[in-house]
Amino acid sequence: MFKGVTEVSNAESNTREDVENVTNELTYAEPLTPEQIRWFYRDGVDKRWVEFCGYDSLRIENAWQNHQNLLSRKDDTTNNSSPVEKIVVKGGMYDVELDKLKCVSIYCPGEEWEIMRGTWYYDGSWLPLELEQSKVIEEVHLNLFQKQSSGQSTSKCDTPSYTYKVLHTEHFPEFHVDWHSINDVVLYSEYRHSKLMRSVTSKLGFAKTTGYQLRRGYKVPAVMEDKPNDIDHIIFVVHGIGQKRDTGKIIRNTTLFRDCVDWLKQKYFPNSNYRVEFFPVEWRSSLKLDGGIVEAITPFSVVSIRHLLNTSAMDILYYTSPLYGGEVRAGLQKELNRLYFMFASRHPGWKGKVSILAHSLGCVIVYDIVTGWMGPDTRPPSPETQEVLKQRLQFPIENLFCLGSPLSVFLALRTPSPSNKTDVMPQGLCKRFYNIFHWSDPVAYRMEPLLERGYSKIEPVLIPPYGGDDGHQTEQSPSTMNNADQNFSPAENDERDENSVDISNRTTDKGWSLWGLVRAGWNVKEGVPTPLQPGQELAQRLDYVLRASLGRNYLYTLAAHTTYWSNYDVAYFVLTRLFPTLET
C-alpha cells in the first residue's frame, strides 16, 4: 500500500494560484468514465498485465462502482463483508471475484489471476500503475484541475519552456510525480541512476529532465461491442507423467500453448471469427493408487532423485500395472466427462466440436479410453471405477493430437501387428489422428509403420514453419514422400555426429522390432526405398515431424520432449487443422 506524501514549495493557496495563472485555454479534469477505465488481468506465465475486452471491462467497472457505493452507504458499525457478485468474463471461461481482486477459472480449480483497475498508465507501453498509486495520483489530479463548484476554476496550458513550472509534486517510496500541466504529468524514479541522469540533464540546460510520461485513461475506450465470439471448438489438454510433482504444470503449459495460438490467429487470421478454447485436464492429483506404499519402501539414499522418479516415471509403472491401470483410466475419463458436462450446462444448445491434445503417457491413456481397451487388470475394479468405465466418454472426438507420444510402443507390446489399418483408431471413434513429434524426443515413436511396415522407409510429413510459404502450408501426399532423399531428413545433419548409430546393416522390412519403430525414417542408409505397393498407402497420414531446430544431440533430448507447448509450428498446425478453411 502506497500512501502519498504531498510536497508543495509554497502554500497550498499559492499552488492553486499558479495553476490558475497558466492561461491559454481552459480545460478541466472530470472524473473518469467507465469507458476510460480499463481492467487488467495478470496471467500466470510471464506475469504481464493484459487488458480485458471492452465488454468485460465495462461490466467489471460497473460492478466495482456499485460495490463501492454500497460500502460508502453503510455505517461504520455495519458488517461490510457482504458478498460481491461474480462477473463471468473471457467468454464464459472465468469468474471475476472483486472482493479478492482475482480472476478464477471456472473449469480448472487452482488457475487464478490477479486483476487490477487501470486509470493511469506509462506512455508508450500503456502498462497500468498499481492500484493504490493510481488512486493517489487521481485524487491529486482532480484536486488540481477539477472545476470548482464555487465558481472558481482551474485552467490548463502547457507552460512556456523557459519557466516549466512544477505545479505539484507527490512522493512515493520509489518515485515521485510532478505535475507541469493537466496533460503533462511525469514520473521520476528515486533510484540513484535516475537521479544522476536528472542532475546531468539539468546542468546541461534541459528544461525537462528524464522521466516517464504518464497518461490518464486508457488509449482505447471500452465499448460493449468489444466481446468474444461464440466458442466453435474446445480442446481438452491432457498431461503425461510428472504432474504429481507439480500440479500446476499443465495449467502453465496450456496457457503457453493458448498464447501461441492466440498470437498466430491475430497475426495470420485477424479477420477470422473462429474461436477455440483450451481446458487443462489435471487427472493425476486425485488418484491415491498405492496408498503411499512406494514412498514407504523408498530408501533415504539420494532422496531428491528418488522423489523425482516416484513422482514422474512411476506413473508409467502405475499405468502398466494390472492393479492400477483401470483406476488411472477411470480418473482421466471422469475428469474429461466432468469438464464437458460443466461446459455444456453453462452453454445450453452448444453445437461446437471437441478435440483432445495429449502429451506423452497422456496419449496412451486417452487412446485406451477412446477405444475402450480394458487391459490385463487382475484386480476387480471398485464399483465407482466400474461405473465410470461403462459410461465411456460422453462426447464425440473430432481430432486427437498426440505430442511426443509413446503410444505405438504400447500397442506393439500388446499385439505383434494390427490385423487391418483401422484397428488403431477407427474413424467412428475419432475423425482424425495426428502423431506429432520432434526428431530429438526420446519418448516419441512413429505410428505409421505399425499399420504398414513400408512406411518405416518413408519420412513423416514435415510440419513447415508457422505461416508456411506466404502464409500457406501444404501437406505432402504419400506419393511425393516415397523417395526420402527428396524430402527433409534429419539424418543428413547427423552423418558426422559422433553419437550417431549406424543401422545400415539392420533390416526394417523383416520381422517386427522396437528398434524399427524408434528409428524408422531417421538414419535410413539402404539406398532407394521400395515404393509402397498398391493398397499399402494409408488413407490419411498419421506421423508429423517438427523441424530439427534443436538438433539431435542427446543433450537436447529432455528439452525436445517438452518443447511442444511453446512451439509456434505446432500451434499453427493445430489451429489450421481445427479450422481448415483458415488457409483457403
Task: Give catalytic residues, as residue numbers.
Answer: 360
Given the DSSP bridges, would you call strands 5-7 and 212-216 parallel, antiparallel or unpaired? unpaired
Residue 440, CB-side half-sphere exposure with 13 Å CA sphere:
21
Of 268, 274, 282, nearest in space to 110 by CA: 282
Gap between the Cα atoms of 399 and 387, Å rounded: 26
Query: Helices marked H in 311-406 — which ranges?
Result: 314-320, 325-346, 361-371, 383-391
Report yes or no: 203 and 191 within 8 Å, Cβ to Cβ: no
Distance CA 317, CA 311 (A): 11
Q: Which residues contact 546 (CB under 8 A, 6 or more apart)?
A: 436, 437, 438, 439, 463, 567, 569, 570
Radius of gyration of the chain (CA): 31
Residue 445 Ramachandran class (φ > 0 left, ψ -120 to 50 alpha, else beta): beta
Q: Provide the strand spans (E) within 378-526.
A: 397-403, 430-437, 461-462
Helix axes 407-414, 361-371, angle to 10 degrees: 50
Tell me the torsion sign for CA atoms 398, 404, 410, 413: positive
Residue with cell 494409408: 538
Specify whether the CB–CB gap between 271 and 581 falls below 8 A: no
Q: Which distant-in-sequence residues (6+ apart) come within 8 Å of 61 by Cβ?
A: 34, 37, 39, 117, 222
Phi, psi of 42 (to 5 degrees): -115, 115
Q: Write the secondary structure of 433-446 as one string of H (helix), E (strand) and C (coil).
A: EEEEECCCCCCCCC
Buried b (16+ CB within 10 A) or exposed e, 127-147: ebbeeebbbbbbebbbebbeb
The sheet with strand 87-89 has its strands ordered as 49-51, 38-42, 112-118, 102-105, 94-97, 87-89
Amino acid at site 227: K
DSSP SS3 for 413 = helix
Query: Residue 185 is placed in which grid cell?
Result: 504529468
How crowded is residue 123: how many other Cβ atoms within 10 Å of its Cβ? 14
Residue type, 302: V
Q: Which three cell numbers stand for residue 500?
A: 550417431
The owner of cell 524514479 is 189
Q: Render 114-149 in DSSP notation, one character per residue.
A: EEEEE-EEETTT-PBPPHHHHHHHHHHHHHHHSPPT
